[in-house]
Structure 1
Amino acid sequence: MGRPRMAVSAAFFCFGTIAGSLVPRMPAFKESLGLSDGQVGLVFLAYAVGAVAGAALARPVMAWGARRLVRGGTLVILALLIGPAVAPVFGLFALSFFLLGILGGFLDVLENSQAAEMERQAGRPMINGFHGFWSVGFIAGAVGSAVAASLGIGPLPHYMLVAVVVGAVSVPLLSGLPDTRGGATTMLPSGTTRWRIGTAVVGVSAIAFLGIMVESGGGDWGPIYLRDVGQTGLGLAATVGVAFALAMTAVRFTADRFTARTSPAVVAATGALVSATGVGVAIAFPAPLTAIAGFMLVGAGCAVMVPLAFSAGANLARSGTALSIVTGAGYAGSIVGPFLIGSTSDRVGLRTALAIPLAAALAVLVSAVSLRPPSRGTDSLLVEPGAEGVVK
């Protein structure tokens, strides 16, 4: 593994560790602040709104070069991780997630741009592998969260330790990042119309929107579902994040080979089907073991949907505008999903509310099948590195 590739992998790992440290502690935050499911949904909404803003901000500054922005942004988001741990009331708690979202969306666009550049240089699918390192980081963070919750360690000392350790290792590891300044210049055939480019961006954005709705439904709400519906303790509830991330990681480190043998559309459709099955299992069988198994299937299925959409977005426009739009659409899914799940849960219960990510997974399946070309060389909406045209 060359130095730039290693640095991009490390950047995804650091970002994943932050996410893995944050989400599994939500049951503890919910209890300490006395939050309802609807308020939890609003907190996730605040993060998603911030992420959309951060993704939009990344587009104009990418021309300055992504290396320093990713290195500095990683340190800033680690500092902001302390915010939720010290927030005394719901309003400040939601504000801390909004600020985390701004940095999260900003880093998401920049890191995926760097990953897509590595893909183009290699001429083969690599995006799922990079997101696999994000998942490894998420596992590390989630394990730390589960251990801290089981030992009764509060979020503040836990997050301070995460900030110090991840910040210290990020300084040398991220020094070799590529200084990406935009998207692809040659992935679309000459003469491609603005209408065709716009159609491609809309189609890929839809996959990102729905895919992140599914991922949010499993990863964000899984611990709360196990706590409230499965009637488990905080420690076991936090392990849902670990199980979810383990399944996601295993798939991501193997999905690039599957993509190379088939097509991005086939892989996305398969992932959607697996995710839908997992949500269905969790709804039908809420006992701890079966619910955890269901959320593992959700993690395995949604592992491929968002990386493929982000890779396609990075290869649809030179300036990086398409990737910003696709990333923003993905986080819009994080806006709509938590709000719908939280508000629906307050009215009819979280078990029924999980029908929302189930429907989103089925919509991805239908979309991906409709985008699958009848034969090689036929235009579609998902881009594969090394292929000439919009999609394999």
Structure 2
Amino acid sequence: MSKVFPGQRKISAPLATRAIFFIAGMTIGLWAALVPFVQQRTGAEAHQLGGLLLCLGAGSLVSMSGSGPLIGRFGCRAVILAASALFCLLLPVLATANTLWLLGCALFIFGMGMGLTDVAMNVQAAMVEQMSGRPLMSGFHCLWSIGGVAGSAGSALLFSAGFSPLAGTLVAIIITALVLLLLAPGLLKVGNHDTATTPTRSGFRPGLTLILLALMTMLSFLAEGAVIDWSGIFMTTERGLDVRNAGWGFAVFSVAMSLLRFSGDFVVQRLGRKAVLVGGGILAMAGYLLVVLAPGWLLSLCGFAVIGIGAANIVPVLVTLAGQDKSLPVNMSVAMVTTLGYFGVLGGPALLGWIAHYSNLYVAFTLLAVSFGLIALAGLKLRYQDDRDNGHSGQKSIVEK
């Protein structure tokens, strides 16, 4: 059977999808490298910097909330290109602005571009995976992680070589423009499988399965985000590591997650999505319990690695399942899942801080172990298309008319 992707000519749709995930990760990595320059240039205090980061998150949530209908009307290609142009225009502002109000406005709009890109590329990924007939989602998300490393490490090398923040952002913009120019034909012109309808009409209601998938995604993002924000504090305050070594918990988590995502599509094809989701939840739960119960820092580091192994392919599988859900068009279902997941990323660290304040980090991390246990239990109750057709997803192809 010939598989034809909408808008695809000589450019591979999977290749274009991987490129967009890489670009999105690279942009976030670049922003992470710019944060110290922003603080130095503006003299922002910690609470002011937190407010700026909140502007970024708020912009992302605003655009994500309305992204589904936009993608359905204009298609993945148009939304991704417009959003990419938006954050490319804002990068030089982030690199040079020296007032907090200008940075706040720029970060809000930058966040809108990143939010639109995040949803649109996941819709593109879900459709391409379904039409290809084989697991691809973990590989797409792996490219986001690789892009993040490339953006942060590449920026650090450029800045160390004497490049200014503005020059570094211009390099990133040139790379983004070249990639989009070459690979844009591989992006899908449509935003859902039902090209004859517009997904903004009334009557669409998320089914219970889709709501469950969204809640599972939120829990997974919350528990993953906890490693970013709280692993260093846990390793220094509870395990006695020097503050200079505080980043090792997140480092081993990230390496383990990247390696497992790199091989995730093969694992899904061999074991099925149910085994990956349930087994991943159990492993991540065990990892958090090991972090909490380990008598020393070395075993706690091993626990963070186990969390990365278990959590690596949970979100990619959940996005795939959301794209297969029939209660909403794919652009709406993926937007719902990714948006609620982003709520977990933004609200999770604050919630854990509140829990730790009134108890301790042991209690907070134990609750995160429970959250992965709930994901595993919910995974047992879901229905999987790959249980019926050996990993081949439901949509066969969409022929460009």
TM-score of the superposed pair, with normalisation by structure 2: 0.74
Letter matched to residue 83 of structure 2 = G
Q: 1:318 aligns with which of 320, 325, 329?
A: 329
TM-score of the superposed pair, with normalisation by structure 1: 0.76
Residues 1:172 and 2:176 aligned together: no
Given that residues 223 and 239 in structure 1 are in contact (C-alpha distance below 8 angstroms), is that contact kept between their aligned partners in structure 2?
yes
CA spacing shift, 1:252–1:299, aligned 2, 3 Å: same
- Tell which deviates more after alignment, 307-316 or 4-13: 307-316
Which residue number corresponds to residue 368 of structure 2? 360
CA spacing shift, 1:238–1:318, aligned 2, 3 Å: same
Which residue number corresponds to residue 191 of structure 1? none
Summarize deviations over 1:182-201 as a string: whole Å, max 9, x none: 1579xxxxxxxx99x62111
Rounded to whole Å, the distance in 2 between the matches of 1:133 and 1:266 is: 23
Rounded to whole Å, the distance in 2 between the matches of 1:224 and 1:84 is: 29
Aligned counterparts, 1:117-136, within 5 A: 117-136=127-146
Rounded to whole Å, the distance in 2 between the matches of 1:30 and 1:227 is: 24
Residues 1:264 and 2:293 aligned together: no
Given that residues 42 and 339 in structure 1 are in contact (C-alpha distance below 8 angstroms), is that contact kept between their aligned partners in structure 2?
no
**Runs (5+) with no aligned partner, structure 2:** 1-9, 196-203, 396-401
Shift of 1:105: 1.9
Shift of 1:202: 1.1
Rounded to whole Å, the distance in 2 between the matches of 1:224 and 1:152 is: 32
Which residue number corresponds to residue 199 of structure 2? none
Given that residues 12 and 111 in structure 1 are in contact (C-alpha distance below 8 angstroms), is that contact kept between their aligned partners in structure 2?
yes
CA spacing shift, 1:26–1:18, aligned 2, 3 Å: same
Summarize deviations over 1:309-335 as a string: whole Å, max 9, x none: 222222223252222211111111123
Given that residues 247 and 299 in structure 1 are in contact (C-alpha distance below 8 angstroms), is that contact kept between their aligned partners in structure 2?
yes
Rounded to whole Å, the distance in 2 between the matches of 1:374 and 1:254 is: 23
Which has the higher Rg, Structure 1 or Structure 2? Answer: 2
Which residue number corresponds to residue 75 of structure 2? 65
Residues 1:336 and 2:347 aligned together: yes
Letter matched to residue 89 of structure 2 = A
Aligned counterparts, 1:99-118, within 5 A: 99-118=109-128
Aligned counterparts, 1:43-62, within 5 A: 43-62=52-71
Aligned counterparts, 1:362-381, within 5 A: 362-373=370-381
Summarize deviations over 1:6-40 as a string: whole Å, max 9, x none: 1111111101111222336656756752305xx66
CA spacing shift, 1:255–1:87, aligned 2, 3 Å: same
Secondary structure class of the residue paired with 1:182: coil
Q: 1:142 aligns with which of 152, 156, 159?
A: 152
Summarize deviations over 1:206-232 as a string: whole Å, max 9, x none: 111111112322245667878998554
Rounded to whole Å, the distance in 2 between the matches of 1:145 and 1:242 is: 18
Given that residues 71 and 170 in structure 1 are in contact (C-alpha distance below 8 angstroms), is that contact kept between their aligned partners in structure 2?
yes
Letter matched to residue 364 of structure 1 = F
Which residue number corresponds to residue 201 of structure 2? none
Q: Percent identity?
A: 24
Q: 2:46 aligns with which of 31, 35, 42?
A: 35
Rounded to whole Å, the distance in 2 between the matches of 1:101 and 1:286 is: 41
Which residue number corresponds to residue 393 of structure 2? 386
